[in-house]
Structure 1
Amino acid sequence: MPSSLPTRFAVLVYGLLSYAVFFVTFLYAVGFIGNFGVPKTIDGAPVVPLADALLVNGLLLTLFAVQHSVMARPFFKRALARILPVAAERSTYVLASSLALIALFRFWQPMGGGVWSVEQPAARLLLQVGYGAGWLIVLGTTFLIHHFDLFGLRQVWLFFRGRDYTGLKFVTPGPYRLVRHPLYVGWLVTFWSTPQMTLAHLFFAVMTTAYILVAIQFEERDLADAHPEYHDYRRRTPMLVPRLRRDEAN
């Protein structure tokens, strides 16, 4: 039985609001990790003992990792579909991820201490350019694999128009021919490109890098189940680091 117009409109508004929350959170994250333009950033004067800061920050990162991974699994999507319209599933994931990040921004504890400080102007500039490039890679990659589907807008729009959702075909545009996960490459560049590495930033970078390496394993298993051609793609394409020389057969 087709959903009523008020239901379809409500789902559309929900998807748009979820995307708006994501967009604001994304912009805040740029300043939070980069230490500029926002009220609270990853660094600052410590206000609690180091052990307490490690515990709080570890719990915040764990919360995000668990939410991000569990909600992405097929079993959770099936369970959510029993409560919400299927078209709202992706928007719910996006909203929950944004809320987990907002909690991280709000309760993050600076740790003080310095790990490295790059003072040479050219090197500092290179790292700052790398930071910006990392964010551009992250954002640009989402558009290569259909930004609006990834963040739930395509699903709620089709639902509003009363049209069935059709999954996207498996494609490997641009940087996906060089590595399997250019989106994660962008995140790694972002997390590690800083001229001023503090204990808090290092902890954040190490933990998020570890999470990415673990998350890739679950993600690739789901991709292989959904797309039989992914097995061959995984065999011939590096995960994160491009090959210096491509095989003649490719």
Structure 2
Amino acid sequence: MRRFLYFVYGVACYALFLGVYAYLAGFLSNVGVPKSIDSAPAGPIGLAVLVNLSLVTLFAVQHSVMARPAFKRVWRRVVPTPIERSTYVLASCVVTILLMWQWRTIDPVVWDLASPALRAVVWTVFAVGWLAVPAVSLLINHFDLFGARQVWLHLKRQDYTPLPFREPSLYKHVRHPLYLGWAVLFWATPTMTAGHALFAGALTAYMALAALVEERDLIAHFGADYADYRRRVPMFLPRLRRRSPAVPAAAE
């Protein structure tokens, strides 16, 4: 019975993520949702900046702290291992919902594209970014990333096996295509307000810092495989030309 309840819990957390991610598209595009990034009445700019940065900080702390191996070792004394990742997904959804719910509008416009053709192009780029996030996660293991694989294996009484190191598709060109998808989603808008720019800028800066911390953990986990991968593949921007194979250096 417990295995089944864990499975239901994991599926529910995954379904919540899908709902929050769908709402995020409407939140950032100001389409089809009751509260969007630019829909609320604007208040004092200083207060709005303070509240918004506090929300981003909460988002960043939750995402980074709960993802660290040291935290997980302690956290698993409280949360059973099969649902640890699902609980992380649940907490991430909660802070994202809070971020969108309490976000303060800042009205001044940074840019506003007048051309219908240009606006259509930018909306197309936005859609590509929105689709890229789940698509890129499928290249590695989407269901492991969001905890569904863990509860499914537990339900079937199979031991969890960590995923091996791989370099599929886009990962051969950049080390963090998932973060690139998020950045496109944040920045691709034909009308950029100061509040939207604050959202996009703060979260882009957070992702850049998070990638550095994440890579330290990946080297600790995968060892020489990831260290070699980091030497060969750029972090965010693909190289225009593939580098020629390096000549092995003498031992340092």
TM > 0.5 between the two?
yes
Shift of 1:163: 1.0
Structure 1: which 5+ runs fail to align?
A: 1-5
Give the whole-Å Cα distance in 2 for the aligned partners of 1:95 and 1:45: 26
1:245 is aligned to: 241
Alignment map for 1:200-211 (pairs within 5 Å)? 200-211=195-206
Which of 53, 63, 69 matches 1:58? 53
1:235 is aligned to: 231
Give the whole-Å Cα distance in 1 for the aligned partners of 2:75 and 2:87: 9
1:93 is aligned to: 88
Which of 127, 131, 142 matches 1:136? 131
Give the whole-Å Cα distance in 1 for the aligned partners of 2:20 and 2:182: 15
Query: Secondary structure of the equivalent of 2:133?
Result: helix
Query: Secondary structure of the equivalent of 1:37?
Result: coil
The answer to whether the aligner puts 1:32 opposite 2:27 as a matched pair is yes
Shift of 1:121: 2.2
2:249 is aligned to: none
Give the whole-Å Cα distance in 2 for the aligned partners of 1:182 and 1:196: 25
Q: Which amino acid aligns with 2:23?
A: Y
Q: Which amino acid aligns with 1:113?
A: P
Alignment map for 1:160-199 (pairs within 5 Å)? 160-199=155-194
Partner deviation per Cα, 1:150-203 (whole Å, 9 max, x = no partner): 000000111111111000001010000010000001111111111101011000
Partner deviation per Cα, 1:41-75 (whole Å, 9 max, x = no partner): 01135342111111111111111100000000001
1:223 is aligned to: 218
Give the whole-Å Cα distance in 1 for the aligned partners of 2:8 and 2:188: 37
Query: Secondary structure of the equivalent of 1:186?
Result: helix
What's the TM-score, normalizing by structure 1?
0.95
**Conserved? CA contact 1:88–1:156, under 8 Å:** yes
**Conserved? CA contact 1:178–1:237, under 8 Å:** yes
Query: Secondary structure of the equivalent of 1:19?
Result: helix
Count of paired positions: 245
Structure 2: which 5+ runs fail to align?
A: 247-252
1:123 is aligned to: 118
**Conserved? CA contact 2:37–2:196, under 8 Å:** yes
1:43 is aligned to: 38
What's the TM-score, normalizing by structure 2?
0.95
**Conserved? CA contact 1:44–1:111, under 8 Å:** no
**Conserved? CA contact 1:8–1:159, under 8 Å:** yes
Alignment map for 1:76-87 (pairs within 5 Å)? 76-87=71-82
C-alpha root-mean-square deviation of aligned residues, in Å?
Answer: 1.1
Q: Which amino acid aligns with 1:149?
A: D
2:99 is aligned to: 104
Query: Secondary structure of the equivalent of 2:110?
Result: strand
Q: Which amino acid aligns with 2:228?
A: D
Shift of 1:214: 0.5
> Would you identify which runs of 4 or more consecutive aligned residues in structure 1 move more than 2 Å?
44-48
Shift of 1:84: 1.7
Which of 204, 207, 214 matches 1:212? 207
Give the whole-Å Cα distance in 1 for the aligned partners of 2:242 and 2:155: 45
Q: Which amino acid aligns with 1:244?
A: L
Give the whole-Å Cα distance in 1 for the aligned partners of 2:155 and 2:115: 55
